[in-house]
Amino acid sequence: MNYNHLSINERTVISLLASSDVSIREIAKQLGRSPSTISRELKRNQTNERDS
């Protein structure tokens, strides 16, 4: 199976669109990627901040 890493530009677009409440499926569609790829990227980079 051939794997292609996300480019820095794709990562930036994912971050911007996700912070604008665009759905994972819509982000995937715009980038031509699988929704699971977008989901993994967001999960990998989420922070676990807690309100004190």
Helix axes 35-44, 24-31, angle to 10 degrees: 110
pLDDT the model gives residue 1:
60
pLDDT, mean of each 10-residue run, the chain (52 residues): 85 97 98 96 82 52
> What is the sign of the dihedral through the CA atoms of 40, 42, 47 and 50?
negative
pLDDT the model gives residue 2:
66
Mention every residue, 6+ apart, whose C-beta is less than 8 A from residue 28. Answer: 34, 35, 37, 38
For the chain, the domains span 8-49
